[in-house]
Amino acid sequence: KLGNETAKAELGRATWKYFHTVMARFPDKPSADESAALKSYIHLFQRLYPCGECSEHFRAILEKFPPQTSSRSAAAVWACHVHNEVNKSLGKEVFDCANIGDFYDCGCAEDGDAKWA
Ligand code: FAD
């Protein structure tokens, strides 16, 4: 049981890191297709998340707080907010979403892809 909890927490940390980094790299001014792609991705992310209990829990959160994909900052703040919903349900500290802009760095700013910079 302890081992399972450790693995679940580790999966969660890795996943949140990735999830928030996706938002931090989403275009400031996405096309309609890019916004639709992110929305669709978030719903599939929920559906396919490997921890069944977490997936079911996150489904209810998405119903209450539908994905916001109109811009990078909308997506980043939305993701911060839903992560805080999970934090609250687990009795964890709430993260200050005002700081979300600088927190997730993919290390790929020099890629030269202006659209995703
Ligand atoms: P985490 O919550 O993993 O956060 C990692 C780091 O992200 C923090 O140290 C902090 O630097 C930063 N952070 C914290 N809050 C925010 C925020 N709001 N926005 C941006 N960055 C932030 N576990 C369960 O036991 N039951 C569940 O139902 C459950 N559901 C989950 C659903 C999803 C979609 C995911 C991805 C994970 C879920 N987890 C669940 C795992 C849980 O959220 C944690 O990942 C795990 O408990 C480890 O927590 P942690 O304290 O190390 O920090």
The answer to whether position 111 is within a domain reads no
The answer to whether position 78 is within a domain reads yes
The answer to whether position 112 is within a domain reads no
What pLDDT is stored for residue 113 in this prediction?
Answer: 56
The answer to whether position 73 is within a domain reads yes
Cβ-contact 16, 90 below 8 angstroms? no
Range of the domain at 82: 2-104
What CATH number corresponds to the domain at position 91? 1.20.120.310
Give the distance (Å) from ligand 1 centre to CA of residue 77: 15
The answer to whether position 98 is within a domain reads yes
- For the Cβ of 104 lying below 6 angstroms from any atom of ligand 1, the answer is no
What pLDDT is stored for residue 18 in this prediction?
Answer: 98
Total domains present in the chain: 1
The DSSP-derived string for 19-58 is HHHHHHTS-SS--HHHHHHHHHHHHHHHHH-S-HHHHHHH
Mean pLDDT by 10 residues, the chain (117 residues): 84 98 96 98 98 97 98 98 98 95 85 56
Its ipTM equals 0.99
Identify the residue whose C-alpha is closest to ligand 1 atom 35.
12
